[in-house]
Structures are given as C-alpha cells and as structure tokens.
Amino acid sequence: MVSHSGLLTVMERAARKAAPRLRRDFGEVEHLQVSKKGPADFVTMADKRAEQTVVEELRKARPDWGILAEEGGETPGDPTKPRWIIDPLDGTTNFLHGIPHFAIAIAVEEPLPSGKREITTGLIYQPITDESYWAEKNRGAWLHDRRLRVSARRDLGDALIATGIPFLGHGDMAQWSRIFGAVAPSVAGIRRFGSATLDLAHVASGRYDAYWESGLQTWDMAAGMLMVREAGGFVTDFRGGDQVIERREVLAGNDVIHSKLHKLLASALR
C-alpha cells in the first residue's frame, strides 16, 4: 500500500472530520439555514461549519501557517512558511439541491526563493462516495492507493470534455459561448457537473479527457491543478501560459487533447 506524507495525513484527517456533518446536513437539505452571499451564490450553515472544522484541525498541526479559505478569506501567517488553501464545500449549489456531487478541497502553497509560490500538496475528498484524491509534488496523483494517469485519448472526436457554464452574476457568457461554439462540434461530449475541484480530479483520473472554465477562485483550482499535473497532464490558462490563478481560467487535459483544445480556444478568443 502506498504511503503519503504526514502533511497529507493531517489534511485527510481534517477533511474526514468535517465530512460526517456534511453528510448529515445533506440528508436533511430541506432544513438547512441558508443565507445569500451574492447573486445565485449561497453559503449554507453546513459550508461554514465544515470550514471551521477543517481550519481548527489544520491549525492544530501548523499554527504558524497562513490560510486562504472560501468563507473566512485570508488569515496571514509566517510569510516564510506555506499556507493552506481551503474550499470546505465545492459544489454548494449541488448540495443545496440534493445533488450528491460536491467535495472538500485542501491544498498547500509553499513560498519559493524567487518570491513566487507553488502548490505542492493537494487533497480532494468526496464525502458521499468516500473518494479521496490526493497528490504531492513529484510523488504522483492517487485515488486512495491507486495511481492516477490522465486519459490516453488522442482524437477530439473521442474526447469527453468538462466545463463550467456562466450563470446569474458570474462569468462571461459571451466568451463562453464563443469557446463552446468552437469546441462542441469537435468532441464526443461536454459535461457540466458543478464542482471545479471534482472536474479536475476526474481529468487526473482519466474520466474526463479535458476541462476548461473561467471565473474561478484560487480555492476552486489549487488542489486539482496539482493533481492533473502529477497525473501527467497539462494545466494552463486559456492562452497556454502559467497564469491560471491570476487570470482565473484553466484549461487542463492530456498533452494532445490539451494542445488541440488550446488551438480551438485561441481561435475563439481572437
């Protein structure tokens, strides 16, 4: 059985501690207290409780690390140390509607001598299916103890692509429509399941051949970006560069499908 680092053990323990309450709340979704955070952007009490649990567990292990979390925002730590990036419930709208497709995502971002930062550890945990995806820099990507590899498909006509669709108050519908118009006629299918973290995990596991989306936040992408790369895939912004987080856009897939989609996106965005 493959072993992972003590740091990953801390992350998985935090996610699994938050998961039982999420499962209970999901089973009683009609009774949840819900408050609006913005147009069509809801925060549930379940979301807040999950984040509190995860943060408490991580702080016990690394009290001097900073935190970037979806609900709590940024909490500074020792600038020479890594920081946690947390999404306690990615797929909140699915959760609220009783759709069992959501996840807890935790990543570690480390400072580099150059002043930049990089993601070195990631965990994506699906509480309903008990699927635990994890990756560590230079150690590969895994689903429990099974090594993950991106798909080996080479033809767009055989490829299943995931995406996110702009909705009320979020995203650039005109841009998305141009991209969709360029991609859809060339591929076997396009899916929108409502959880960026799980979309990236499914690219890493070969379930999807590629994925694109814009308007994302750091916590939506951090763990999944590392997972795809450690599974042998490519992750870039729409222009083929490395400003995924800065541009809030991601294109991920195996080398050939990624390259072909990049050309389609470049054409659509001219």
Residue 27 pLDDT? 86
Instruction: Give the separation between CA 175 and CA 268, rounded to whole angstroms.
Output: 8
Residue 143 pLDDT? 97
Q: Residue 215 domain-assigned?
A: yes
Average pLDDT rounded to a whole number, residues 138-147: 96
Q: Are residues 180 and 60 in the same domain?
A: no
Average pLDDT rounded to a whole number, residues 34-53: 79
Which structural domain, as residue segments, surrounds residue 218? 156-268
CATH number at residue 213: 3.40.190.80
Phi/psi of residue 172, nearest 5 degrees: -110, 95
Residue 40 pLDDT? 55
Q: Are residues 132 and 15 in the same domain?
A: yes
Average pLDDT rounded to a whole number, residues 220-248: 96
Final residue before a domain boundary, out of 98, 127, 147: 147
Q: Are residues 135 and 29 in the same domain?
A: yes
Average pLDDT rounded to a whole number, residues 225-243: 97
Mean residue pLDDT across the chain: 94
Q: Are residues 140 and 166 in the same domain?
A: no
Q: Are residues 188 and 263 in the same domain?
A: yes
Residue 65 parent element (H or E): none
Average pLDDT rounded to a whole number, residues 199-209: 98
CATH number at residue 113: 3.30.540.10
Q: Residue 1 domain-assigned?
A: no
The contacts of residue 234 (CB under 8 Å, 6+ apart) are 228, 252, 253, 254, 255, 258, 259
Q: How confident is the model at residue 9 (pLDDT cuts 50, 70, 90)?
A: very high
Question: Model-level pTM?
Answer: 0.94
Instruction: Give the separation between CA 151 and CA 154, rounded to whole angstroms.
Output: 9
Token pair listed for 142: 């895994």
Q: Residue 232 above 90 pLDDT?
A: yes
Q: Residue 38 above 80 pLDDT?
A: no
Pairing state of beta strands 41-44 and 83-90? unpaired
Q: Are residues 18 and 126 in the same domain?
A: yes
Return the closest-CA partner of residue 218 out of 246, 194, 239, 237: 246
Average pLDDT rounded to a whole number, residues 175-189: 97
Phi/psi of residue 177, nearest 5 degrees: -65, -40
Per DSSP, 38 falls in state E
Number of domains in the chain: 2
Q: Are residues 113 and 198 in the same domain?
A: no
Q: Are residues 92 and 24 in the same domain?
A: yes
Render pLDDT for 104-116 as a digit per residue (tens, 0 to 9).
Answer: 999 999 999 888 8
The rounded Cα 266 to chain-centroid distance in angstroms is: 23
Q: How confident is the model at residue 238 (pLDDT cuts 50, 70, 90)?
A: very high
Q: How confident is the model at residue 97 (pLDDT cuts 50, 70, 90)?
A: confident
Alpha-carbon dihedral sign for residues 233, 239, 244, 249: negative
Q: Are residues 208 and 233 in the same domain?
A: yes
Q: Are residues 134 and 166 in the same domain?
A: no
Q: Are residues 119 and 161 in the same domain?
A: no
Average pLDDT rounded to a whole number, residues 34-61: 84
